[in-house]
Structure formats: C-alpha cells, structure tokens
Chains A and B, each alone.
Chain A
Amino acid sequence: MVIRFCLVKMAEAKGAVCEDLDMISALPEELLLKILLRVPIKDAVATMILSKRWRFIWMMLPRLDYKEKRYGDDFMNDYDEDDDDDDDNDDDESNKSIWWFFEKSMELHKAHVLTTLLIKLGPGCPSDADVQKWLKKAVDRHVRVLRFKLCWSTVPTGLPKSLYTCQTLKELTLSRKILVDFPSSSCLPSLIILELFYVVYKEDDSLVRLLSGCPVLEYLMVKRNKDDNVTKFSVKVPSLLDLLYSNYNTPDDNDIVDTGRCLVIDTPALINYHIADMSGDSCSIENMPCLESAYIDVESFADIDRVLTSISAVVSLELAMTDVLLVGCSNINFSRLIKLSIYPDMSHWLEPLLILLKNAPKLKDLLVDYVYICTEDLTLSWDQPSSIPRCLSSQLEIFEYRQYRDTEEDEEFLTYILANSKCLKTVTVSVKPSFDLERKELIIKKLRDIPRVSTTSQLLFK
C-alpha cells in the first residue's frame, strides 16, 4: 500500500530502522507531532493508549485547540469568529462540557513551550471551574497565541495576574464572560493583535491601562457589550495600524438621552479603520495622517469636521450615508480617493453623492448598496448636475449597484452613470433578493438595453 511504503521510506530517511511491521511508531517524535497537530485534540489525546511509545507523544504538542461541541443553535458563534465543524462528527455521547477533558489534559500536558492555546467553553462549563489556573499555565509555558472564549452561566471571570505581564504573548483574544481589569503595571511587550469580544471591563481605566501596556500593538478589534462598565471608550495607541470597532447595541426607548458615553480614537499611525456604532455614543476621531482606508457607519459625532479631516486623504472609503456625514462630505476634497462604497441611509442622497463625486477626481471604483433602505416607495427626485463629475468622464472603471429596486429613480441613476462614464469596464447589478426570478429576468433585459457610452464595458448580474 502506498501509504505504508511512504512511511517506511520516511522513517528510513530519518535514520530509523523498521524491523517490525509497525508503520508509524518508529517515526521520530518530531514527525509524530506534525501528524498529531493535524488531528482534533480529542483524537490526539486518545493516541496515548495506542502503545507505550505513544503515551507521552501528544503531551509535547505545542498547539492545543479545545472547542466546545455544538448545542444545536448558534449562540456559540460570534459573527466574525471562525468556527470549524471538526468536532461535530462526534456522536453525542454526552452533552458534557469540554471543560473536564480540557482540565485533565492540561494537567497532563508536558511541553516546555505551549505556543498556541485556543479555548472555547460553553454554557455547560461548571461555575466553579478554575479557568485561571490553566491560563496561568499557558503563560508559564511561554504562550504566544491565546484565544479564550467563556460562555458559562455565572459572573465574568478575572484573569491570572501573570497574564498582565506576559512577555511572549503576541496574539490575545478574550471573548464573553471575562472581566478585563488590567493594572497600571501591565506590560505586554510582544502583543501585536488584540481582540476584545463582548467582554466586561472593571472601569474606563482598565481599558486605558491595558492599551498603554502594549507598545507594539498593531491590530485591535473590539465588539462592545451593552453594559460593559465603560463610559468613555478610549483607544489611544501610537503604534496601532488597524482598528475594527463595532457596537450594535441600540439604545432602549427609556434610556437617558445624554449618557455621556463616547468613543475616542487617538491613533496617529492608523492605516485602516472600520467603525460601526449604532449606540448613539458620540464619536471623536483625532487626526490620522497615514490613513488609507475607512469604513464608517456611525450615528453621532462629537466633532464632524475632525472626522472628515481624518478621511480626506484616504484611498478607499466606505460610508453609511447619514445626513450629517453627507453635508460634511460635500466640502471635502477627496484628492486620493480611488474606491468608494456607499450605503445610503436616507432619501435625497443622489445629489449629495454627485457633489462627492465631483470632489473625488481620481475615483475608479464606485459601489452603491441599498441595504439600509427598506421602503419600496422612497421617492428620490434629483436634478442632474450642470456639469458631469470629472471622475465619471475620465476615471471610473468599476461600478456596482446592490439591492437594485427597479424604481424609476434607480433606473435614472444607472442610466446617468452608464451614459457618462467613458472609461467604464464593468458594471455589476444585483437585484433585490426578494424579487422572483421572472421579475429579475425582466429587469436584466431592461438594463441590457440602456445605452452605455463605454462600448467595451461589461454588464454583469449577481
């Protein structure tokens, strides 16, 4: 058999002598570890009973990945976190949490260096589980990548003190029932990537102290929980290059209007940010001279001018267009802008958009997505501008229209773009998903007939 032949050859190449017929046990430990790294943790640990030779092999694994079995619905998934389905092949021998397996195996694990530890503990995790003990062990074993998600039913857990000064940690993800309480002595000198998903903070300063202790932090991703004890969420990180912040907690009707809650961003080296904030918290953005791309979907700004200044030199911009932003954008010269995606959130956005286009002389790629507009009968009357925006006549190559509603106004706008974009290469239209196939066919037919000034352009449908 091919595999057996290969195994023998491999073992011989490494100097092993295969006297007996055992194909794999004779392989050097380094190779066996490579094999076990590709196997789910439970199977890797199970190999310890194959034979005496195998007893201690898995204990030297540098990477341990524990994930909870599914419980039927989606709560274990946070939107952007990856979840692989490897362990769904297990039969449901028990709905027991992975906790006990995690605890026992961490106890046995021997490798001097544990570079990666990934843990997800679901609601079945007992409230007296000593999670801190194992986090501490990871720190003691020079962990570099630590991702910890805890969904137990009791109060958020604190973290072991040694984690606050872990010299080796490069990537840290904390998710759900975790209390972030970093002292002023915190120092994570190697931390480059930090993710805080729906965690709870002791107070505003806990976050400030954490971030101050990360001198080389480059990537920060935050997903806010509704009541996380932070009033002023302050991101002040001189080394930060990428910031992704989302707060989808909309205020309740009976919330106090002016809570004083705000988001403050002071990251002078930032290259890219993605901010989505539905909470109504006021957002304040300091200058970012290196900014290349931005995604903004925010309801309330402390100082709109500062925000606009921060995005004026970007190359790529994605905007949920609210009144406030639109009015502001009409005064900005987007001298470097090449790619623009807009998600109109209001009526009467066409005229301001055209003003924006006038201010974006280098624009090559335009996307309009109607995802936020629900009402079918939103009437958008617009007057065609007196002069055609320069980017249309000399630059625009790619145009995409999502959630096309097949109204008169939509068609007018599309016709305008097609009639005036001399350099257009591709036009992509995706029709509203609620339309049936027949209607889609009709729309496609109609759109194909619209005259296009750029005869080489392609019209695509998604």
Chain B
Amino acid sequence: MSEKKIVLKSSDGKTIDVAKAVALQSQTITHMVEDSCVGNEIPFENVTGQVLAKVIEYCKKHVVVDGETLTCKTVAHVIHTRTIDEIRTFFNVENDYTPRKKQ
C-alpha cells in the first residue's frame, strides 16, 4: 500500500483517496492523521461525503497555488540577479527583435 495516499471516510460511508501532500494542506486532517493511527484510513464522523469532497478540492487548489508562489519567487530571483543574455539562456527565450541597421 502506498504511503503517500490517505483514504478519508465521511460520516455517510463515502471514501476519498487523496495524496498525502494534498490532504495535509488542511490542519484538521493533519491533526487527525497524527491522532488516529488506524492504517491509512481516516474517519470523519461529523462530515458528510459532499463536504469532504469540497474540502479536498480546496486542498488540491491550495497546493498548486503554493507551487506557483515558489516558482514566481524563483523566476523573479533569476531575473533580478542575471543579465538579459543570461536570462535568455536560462529560460531559452528567443530574441526575436530584428536588429537595428547599422548607420
């Protein structure tokens, strides 16, 4: 059984498979994972399947946004610390400006 997946079980018996990294975006889920050591299945006695699904949807979006922020910061760093030519090389940006005619 993969250690990277968690199974969340709602009060009405529905189960949702979720990547661990995604599920842990939620503090509540993190606490429950820490508390209940029953294999990989986490019961949510007070939460219906519908609500649980929405929570997971949010968590998935959250992970992507974090990745986005990290990448923005890194690209920004590259732009700040390198010359234009170096930036072009780094990201493979093609210089499609037509050179000015020498006068």
Please name the residue on chain A nearest to B74 by beta carbon: A3
Within 8 A of A (CB), among B48-103: 64, 67-68, 70-76, 79-80, 84, 87-88, 91-97
Q: Which residues of B contact A34 (CB under 8 A)?
A: 68, 72
User: With A6-B67, A7-B71, A38-B73 as given contacts, are A22 and B93 in contact (CB-CB < 8 Å)?
Assistant: yes
Tally of A-B Cβ pairs under 8 angstroms: 68
**Is A51's CB under 8 angstroms from B79's CB?**
no
Tell me whether chain A's interface is mostly helix, strand or loop, or mixed. Answer: helix
Residue in A13, A25, A35, A47 whose CB lies within 8 Å of B72? A35
Q: Does the CB pair B93–A50 fall under 8 Å?
A: yes
B19 to chain A, nearest CB (A): 15
Residues of A contacting B87 in the complex (Cβ-Cβ under 8 angstroms) = 47, 50
B94 touches A43 (CB 8 A): no
CB distance from B75 to the nearest CB of A (A): 5
Tell me, in angstroms, the Cα distance from A3 to B76 when the chains sit together. Answer: 12
A39 at the interface (CB under 8 A from B): yes
Contacts A/B (CB < 8 Å), 22 sampled: A3-B71, A20-B94, A22-B93, A23-B91, A24-B75, A25-B91, A25-B93, A31-B68, A34-B68, A35-B75, A35-B76, A36-B76, A36-B79, A38-B73, A40-B80, A44-B79, A49-B84, A50-B87, A50-B93, A51-B94, A51-B96, A52-B96
Chain B positions within 8 Å of A, measured between CB atoms, are 64, 67-68, 70-76, 79-80, 84, 87-88, 91-97
Q: Decide yes or no whether A10 CB sits under 8 A from chain B.
A: yes
Q: How far is the CA of A47 from the CA of B75 in the complex (A)?
A: 12
Chain A residues with a Cβ under 8 A of chain B: 3, 6-7, 9-10, 13, 20-25, 31, 34-36, 38-40, 43-44, 46-47, 49-54
In the complex the two chains form, what is the Cα distance from A13 to B74 in whole Å? 19
Q: Which B residues lie within 8 Å of A23 (CB)?
A: 91-92
Q: Which one of B64, B79, B92 lies within 8 Å of A39 (CB-CB)?
A: B79
Given contacts A7-B71, A22-B91, A50-B84, contact A35 B79 (CB under 8 A): yes
Top 3 nearest A-B pairs (CB, nearest first) are A38-B76, A23-B91, A21-B92
In the complex, residue of chain B having the shortest beta-carbon distance to the beta carbon of A46: B84
- Output the least CB separation between B44 and chain A (Å): 29
Q: Which of B73, B76, B79, B97 contacts A49 (CB 8 A)?
A: B97
A9 proximity list for chain B (CB < 8 A) = 67
Which A-chain residue is minimally distant from B87 (CB atoms)?
A: A50
